[in-house]
Structure 1
């Protein structure tokens, strides 16, 4: 059965569209289960009805015509119960619904299983048998459930592909097609999709038309010729070390690159008007599927060779291609996985929004997007990214949705939201130079999280009182090697000078988890519980010492530097890091740099540190909570995984209680405590944190005016009463509702996510 399932999936992967995918499914399942009927009914999100979309055994003429209401018949029962229904005498069931046009009166046995993807019922897969001849056993039921679970994602992807192309499930025109992901950065962006992809990644190549077929053919021929030269050169270099049968592999590669083989088929597609990388992707995928379906193990392994050849040719095609990407004025940057480098390649002023298949609201790119004020949707798992290039898109960063090819009415609706946002920002500008103080006299510092120099400009214009978190890994991520001491010193000096005399808190290099360096890869099965943060830099003191030396030298004459240590989980790590910092301080002083010893603090972002606040505070000058990671670790939710994104919640009772304990313990030993996670930038979250006793809130620059406006309007006593009301509630959703209701009652509803009712979404990464 596993072999059968693998074959079905491979065939479905190779299908051109949704109807072909479904035809393959019903045909192969009917054959595998040796049953008389196999059918697929899909739920149309627009009409909320089930449609017979494919069948083997019923009348083909009924496909696309037979439909049932959401709760009608046995199909509706399977969907509403979200579990298999196995009946030996289906017509006797009270929910049985008979359709004469299908010819199903001859079939009595019924087994239906729901097709579910990310909690969304897509449809029902059904097998049937003639009267008195069959009772489906447990093994058959289990097989059909397995088939359904495995194929759900493929069906969702095919459905989404058709919708983007303008076709609804029933074959009509699809308008205002929406796809649900995870809200990454608030705001609304309207613009043109530009798909970017990593080098030599065939799967990520978008569909495009070429402007000049002859030029595209010449470009492809040159790439193939270059690969042939590469293979010949490698073969000659290794000739003395290989046996004749191993040497023959290079001849196989060259034969595959013969004009009558793979290149010939690519050229045919180019002549149809497709650009070379897209044509290459189609042909390579076709070859790979063909080889993977072969019964012979040796021939199946040749699929790897095809992939390798495809990547080699694509690599040559992409040489110099980066310069040819044109970014329109309102670019919506789309990728399988966005990186900080991709963001940096878009010309200043052109980046309107971001869409990423991978990642979640608390992945590093999402945090950067919030710092830059760019509306972002992450975790778009089921969206066929390569079809979004050049299409008009709307990115709803409030609700985590992307709309493809919007109607004029929908565009007008979102344009009105953009205008409201701009008006709100203009209204908050007057607060820039005013202190962040409650009406009853409580003063709290508002700082910003930065990583890029553009963050600094925005932060100063919004009235930030310093930097609560400077992500020093950003300069490391935008380089192709470790930056030198002098280069780091220049980066750090920019930040320190911009905010002097206010404090600038620099976190030492925090890589690992979802932040990797291309020149220092860290490959782990569970990176968030692995080698990251202080663990890396203590294992590599040569990196840590150079960084601290650059920080100290950059602070000369300014003396506004603070150093913060990330991912601390025990006291010994702090003591070892302090030893190295003091060592560097004395060495820099001996080099005649007139610097003062900066304050050193630790980040509380690991549950173990929550229970060691007093011991850690005895050894450092300040504490700062990284609420993003702390929430992730407390809830055991990978913040980069869109499948569990809905479980990640800053208002979770356990998170609130941990944050409250940290603030109380820190103050009891006389040490200041700040928080630099995303919760600080949420107006409701900021009020709760102020009530808990946090001295400083650090956030992205875009959030600062809203938070300041709320704090200046609400007495500390009111915030403490709100904290008392929600502290012991048992649901994060109830806590969030209570906080939002309280904000609305004080007239701050305009700072919350806009409420709007819009068309149904086609896919869901987090529903």
Structure 2
């Protein structure tokens, strides 16, 4: 038996085979080939396999997210059979006697360069399609397969780390727990684990030969056991059963009100990242959606999502929640959430750089597309919009000017929309300190404690070396929260918390005493927080 000590991110016990998510080296080397027709046959066979994979992905996406989002795989199938693309590859193999991988990589580069120079937006958007299709072919030819997990058996997922763009592609039904070598307790892997209600540990240096071996993740202690001894296995199975019974007891809280013993009502909402998370929120009896992370729409795609694509997702969420409040955060990328097709240059300090609302105000066409989709979808449910990373009143006034223009355009076109609340996230010390001024401009505040904590304490929440210095209960953070709550209520608007701190049960009573009107937590934490609210005087 091997015991590996890591750091706990989310509790619980998981038992099962270990699956390692390996990052493939996609570097392509030029090789000379003599049998060119055989090489072309290799390419043609790979193309058939790619077409089969894409059809399976299309069918799966069609069933899970609808035709609009599934259509990208149909576009990739068409690209595979495009004659210009095919002839470029086969001619290069024949004329230069090169291997298929190299011919595909060069064709991808050439087509991408050509498309990027075109004035047509549609053709420029095809750059990502060419690269995606080409990478798929190269993976098949090299025998690498996908970076994502293969097989149907649920596993303990072990990885160096997971980027947000990788987490959205995972088949979450196949994951029992997360184990990563790197990352921090506040990383997106950690947030995903809490959303999925599965054990997770970080800073666990697992061996490369542990794949397919039976493992145990004890999320509470931060331990990974590989090939556990029978006695430990029995002990952990009992611990797992106790945890399951505890979860069953929490289920009895479904349908109960989120009211303290003293009669104060708290709006208990859920944080979600996509449509499947919405179903999890409903399953856990959330009273609404306090944070819908719209950037996952962008992370899942290799092109700017169109107004129609976004509209369909927002409409589905609004209709699914059936009149319950749905607060959608506008695009929040930058920092650790990078998207290739945005072409954002690397920054030395991305957490304080070109991100979130700064990108939206700089690229108004992207911002307006999202706002149009959001306002159109608001006709189908109770949608509110909130804007991230605010630091000034001037930003809010500019946002209100743009959104008012969108409403005028929709009205002129005869397109209906709902009565949308507009709020801002308080996640910078600047916003907290001028919250009395900001409160006069908006309908609500939602405090993002993840960023507010890192900016207040000058601690990068993605740096695991700083975890020992990070104190989410720091008096400075709590004082800022109280200040924001007081200023919101003085102006007659409501205030809530949508950061990870909202699920900290040791602070629930403190938040209620502060006057917080809403707590938005990961779906798995709705019932535990409800229990704490109902026990609070």
TMscore range, shorter length: 0.7 to 0.9
1:436-468 Cα deviation digits (max 9, x unpaired): 111121111100001122211121122211111
1:618-664 Cα deviation digits (max 9, x unpaired): 11111110001111111111111111122222112221122122112
Aligned to 1:361: 185
1:665-706 Cα deviation digits (max 9, x unpaired): 221222211000111112112221111110000000101101
- The reply to whether residue 535 of structure 1 matches residue 358 of structure 2 is yes
- The reply to whether residue 333 of structure 1 matches residue 205 of structure 2 is no
Q: State the Cα distance separating 1:354 from its structure 2 match.
A: 1.2
Aligned to 1:545: 368
437 and 644 in structure 1: CA distance in 2 versus 1, 3 angstrom threshold: same
Indicate which of 95, 98, 102 corresponds to 1:230: 102
Aligned to 2:313: 491
357 and 619 in structure 1: CA distance in 2 versus 1, 3 angstrom threshold: same
Gaps of 5+ in 1: 1-174, 203-218, 239-310, 716-767
Which aligned pairs between 1:205-354 and structure 2 lie closer than 5 A? 227=99, 230=102, 318=142, 321-322=145-146, 326-340=150-164, 342-347=166-171, 349-354=173-178
532 and 647 in structure 1: CA distance in 2 versus 1, 3 angstrom threshold: same
Q: How does the TM-score come out when normalised to structure 1?
A: 0.55
Aligned to 2:221: 399
Which aligned pairs between 1:356-755 and structure 2 lie closer than 5 A? 356-380=180-204, 382-384=205-207, 386-522=208-344, 523-558=346-381, 560-715=382-537
690 and 515 in structure 1: CA distance in 2 versus 1, 3 angstrom threshold: same
325 and 671 in structure 1: CA distance in 2 versus 1, 3 angstrom threshold: closer
1:555-614 Cα deviation digits (max 9, x unpaired): 1143x1111000001111111111111111111122212213411111010111110101
RMSD (Å) for aligned C-alpha atoms = 3.0
Q: Which has the higher contact order (CA 8 A, sep 6+)?
A: 2
1:253-303 Cα deviation digits (max 9, x unpaired): xxxxxxxxxxxxxxxxxxxxxxxxxxxxxxxxxxxxxxxxxxxxxxxxxxx
Q: How does the TM-score come out when normalised to structure 2?
A: 0.77
- Aligned pairs, number: 447
- In structure 2, C-alpha distance between the alignment counterparts of 1:517 and 1:483, rounded to whole Å: 12
Indicate which of 180, 185, 200 corresponds to 2:25: 200
Contact 1:329 1:349 in 2 (8 A): no
Q: State the Cα distance separating 1:387 from its structure 2 match.
A: 3.1
1:70-109 Cα deviation digits (max 9, x unpaired): xxxxxxxxxxxxxxxxxxxxxxxxxxxxxxxxxxxxxxxx
Contact 2:274 2:296 in 1 (8 A): yes
Larger Rg: 1
Q: State the Cα distance separating 1:312 from its structure 2 match.
A: 13
Find the residue that maps to 1:574 and give its secondary structure.
Answer: helix
Contact 1:330 1:350 in 2 (8 A): yes
- In structure 1, C-alpha distance between the alignment counterparts of 2:138 and 2:465, rounded to whole Å: 31
Gaps of 5+ in 2: 28-41, 47-92, 111-134
Q: State the Cα distance separating 1:383 from its structure 2 match.
A: 4.1
1:409-451 Cα deviation digits (max 9, x unpaired): 2222222221111111111112111111111211111000011
- In structure 2, C-alpha distance between the alignment counterparts of 1:431 and 1:683, rounded to whole Å: 16
228 and 348 in structure 1: CA distance in 2 versus 1, 3 angstrom threshold: closer
Aligned to 2:65: none
- In structure 2, C-alpha distance between the alignment counterparts of 1:184 and 1:659, rounded to whole Å: 24
Find the residue that maps to 1:555 and give its secondary structure.
Answer: helix
